Amino acid sequence: MQILLLNPNTSIGITDRMVAVAKRFASPSTEIVARTAPRGVPYIATRAEALIAGAIALEMFAEHGHDADVVIVGAFGDPGLGGLRELASVPVIGLAEAAMLTACMLGRRFSIVTFAQVLGPWYEECVEYHGLTSRLAAMRLVSAPFQELTNVQYELGEAIVEIANRTGAEDKADVVILAGAPLAGLAEQIRDRVLLPLVDGVAAAVCQAETLVALRPRKAAVGSYRRPDPKLSQGLSEALSSLLSGRIAN
């Protein structure tokens, strides 16, 4: 089984971090193929950047999706998820989606803890998009500054532990999601110091990816997630243009 992990950010360090976590959680027979965005921004922090990244994720999938059995959108907030789900003939999952749906099985209400103030409202829109607002206890932001994105989980680790414990006490959360690709793997590190179960988006996405492959769902042949009708385009990447035109069908 091949999982295609698309990092719609341009930071290879974050891809590497996600791959390391993915490999720990994947079955031995699962191959993790990861791609880093060839263009875009180092780390998505706004709606505009998520939009740009979502469109780039489509290009990446068009180019690298041939052999995938399932696709993971490797950024919390799930940029491009809906579009990818239409185009791909295999299942597609986002980090936020996988984390939230998994968290729902561990308690009634989850909190989302992340490390940058600006991400909060956009993440909340993501929760609303998935129809899970009633399951959200709180969106909690660690506001401390940090030096290096790829090290943010070490720099802010203590602060995250504290916030995770506070959201249990103050927001009556049952589960805590550590949000954002740069936090991949942190849940394992701080597991014993937080009083609630933690969900790591990358780990959850890998397990859900394997679940979806195991269930062998067919591609919808009707409705709004069926493969779109072939369409001519102009000025798009060659691979994406081919995919839209129906010349290739990943």
Under 8 Å between Cβ of 111 and 177: yes
Q: Is 211 in the site for its own copies (CB under 8 A)?
A: yes
Shorter beta-carbon distance to its own copies: residue 104 or 144:
104
The phi, psi pair for 43, rounded to 5°, reads -155, 125
The SS3 call for residue 92 is strand
Q: How far is the CB of 151 from its own copies (least distance, A)?
A: 19
The phi, psi pair for 151, rounded to 5°, reads -110, 10
- When binding is defined by CB under 8 A, the residue of 23, 33, 120, 189 that contacts its own copies is 120
Strands, E, within 171-212: which ranges?
175-178, 198-200
Size of the chain in residues: 250
Q: How far is the CB of 175 from its own copies (least distance, A)?
A: 8
Q: Is 204 in the site for its own copies (CB under 8 A)?
A: yes
- When binding is defined by CB under 8 A, the residue of 13, 16, 129, 161 that contacts its own copies is 129
**Would you give the end-to-end CA distance of the chain in angstroms?**
15
* Residue span 79-118 as binding mask against its own copies, x where in contact by CB under 8 A, dash where not: -x-xxxxxx---x-x---xx--xx-xxxxxx--------x
The SS3 call for residue 224 is coil
Q: Considering CB under 8 A, how many residues would be counted as binding its own copies? A: 96
Q: Is 197 in the site for its own copies (CB under 8 A)?
A: yes
Q: Is 20 in the site for its own copies (CB under 8 A)?
A: no
Residues 138-167 that bind its own copies (CB under 8 A): none
Q: Which of 175, 105, 166, 165 is nearest to 136 (CA)?
A: 175
